[in-house]
Amino acid sequence: MTQQVISANRLGDGIVVYLAADSSWSERISGSVIAMDETAADALLREAKQAEQDRVVIDPYLIDVAEVDGVVRPIKYREFIRATGPSVRPDLSKQSYVPDTGA
């Protein structure tokens, strides 16, 4: 199984967010909790659907990710753009991509 994380949009401002290990929502994909198997993915999706019921986020869903050089990256380009912001002017994005180098 491919590694997966939960993506959604925060209901208050529409920003793309990712479910974190502490059940909060991170604006950075590097802050997301990664499901390593189908059982974990299903549990994360149930937790995210509860957050949708609680009107914290809207339309949560699983996305495929891979860790490249210790950095979590979406596999599909659509999700990469959602994680990093506009491809033509990333400096204008609220979520401009800054790789998590661990430093």
Give residue 94's Cα distance to chain centre. Answer: 15
Which has the closest alpha carbon to 20: 67, 54, 60?
60
Residue recorded with tokens 């009107």: 55
Q: What is the pLDDT of residue 66?
A: 96
Is residue 62 within 8 Å of residue 41, measured between CB atoms? yes
Evaluate whether 60 touches 52 at the Cβ level (below 8 Å).
Answer: yes
What does the alpha-carbon distance between residue 79 and residue 95 come to, in Å, rounded to a whole number?
13
What pLDDT sits at residue 88? Answer: 78
Give the pLDDT of the chain (103 residues) as one tens digit per residue: 799 999 999 999 999 999 999 999 999 999 999 999 999 999 999 999 999 999 999 999 999 999 988 889 999 999 988 988 777 776 776 555 555 555 4
